[in-house]
Amino acid sequence: MTIETGIELRNHCSYRTGGKAEFYAAVKTDIDLAEALRFAADRKLEITVLGGGYNVLISDRGVKGLVIDTTGLNSHTVISGTEVYAGAGVIIDELAGKTAEIGLCGMEEMSGIPGCVGGAVKMNAGAFSTEIKDIAVHVDMMDFDGRRYRVSNADAGFGYRKAEGLKGIVLGAMFGLKQGSAEDIKNKRADILAKRAEKQPLHLPSCGSVFKRPEGNYAGTLIEKCGLKGFSIGGAQVAEKHANFILNTGNATADDIYRLIKHVQDTVEKETGVRLEREVRFIGFEE
Ligand X SMILES: Cc1cc2nc3c(=O)[nH]c(=O)nc-3n(C[C@H](O)[C@H](O)[C@H](O)COP(=O)(O)OP(=O)(O)OC[C@H]3O[C@@H](n4cnc5c(N)ncnc54)[C@H](O)[C@@H]3O)c2cc1C
Picking from 267, 38, 224, the residue whose alpha carbon sits closest to that of residue 144 is 38
Q: Based on the residue annotation, tell me whether 209 is a catalytic residue of this protein.
A: yes
Our finding on whether 113 is near ligand X (CB under 6 A) is yes
How deeply is 173 buried, as exposed, middle or buried, from its count of CB atoms within 10 A (0-12, 13-18, 19+)? buried
Q: Based on the residue annotation, tell me whether 279 is a catalytic residue of this protein.
A: yes
Percent helix, percent strand, percent coil in the chain, to nearest 5: 30, 30, 40
Angle, in degrees to the nearest 10, between helices 182-199 and 92-101:
150
Q: Based on the residue annotation, tell me whether 161 is a catalytic residue of this protein.
A: yes
List 62, 87, 119, 220, residue binding ligand X (CB under 6 A): 119
Our finding on whether 114 is near ligand X (CB under 6 A) is yes
Site string for ligand X, 44-63 (x = CB under 6 A): -----xxxxxxxx-------
Task: Measure the CA–CA gap between 183 and 192, rounded to whole angstroms.
Answer: 14
- Nearest approach, Cβ of residue 133 and ligand X (Å): 11
Site string for ligand X, 198-237 (x = CB under 6 A): --x-x---xxx-----------------------------
Phi-psi region of 161 (alpha: psi -120 to 50; beta: other; left: phi over 0): left
Q: Containing H/E element for 3?
A: strand 3-4
Please name every residue paired with 84 in a beta bridge, in sequence order, or none if there are none: 79, 175
Our finding on whether 136 is near ligand X (CB under 6 A) is no
Distances (CA, A) of 255 to 212, 269, 277: 21, 21, 19
Q: Which residues between 70 and 99 bind ligand X (CB under 6 A)? A: 70, 88
> Which one, 229 or 272, has the nearer CB to ligand X?
229
Of the candidates 16, 161, 189, 278, the residue annotated as catalytic is: 161
List 18, 87, 106, 115, residue binding ligand X (CB under 6 A): 115
Which residues are tagged catalytic? 161, 209, 279
Binding site for ligand X (CB under 6 A): 14, 49-56, 70, 88, 113-116, 118-120, 122-123, 125-127, 169-170, 200, 202, 206-208, 281
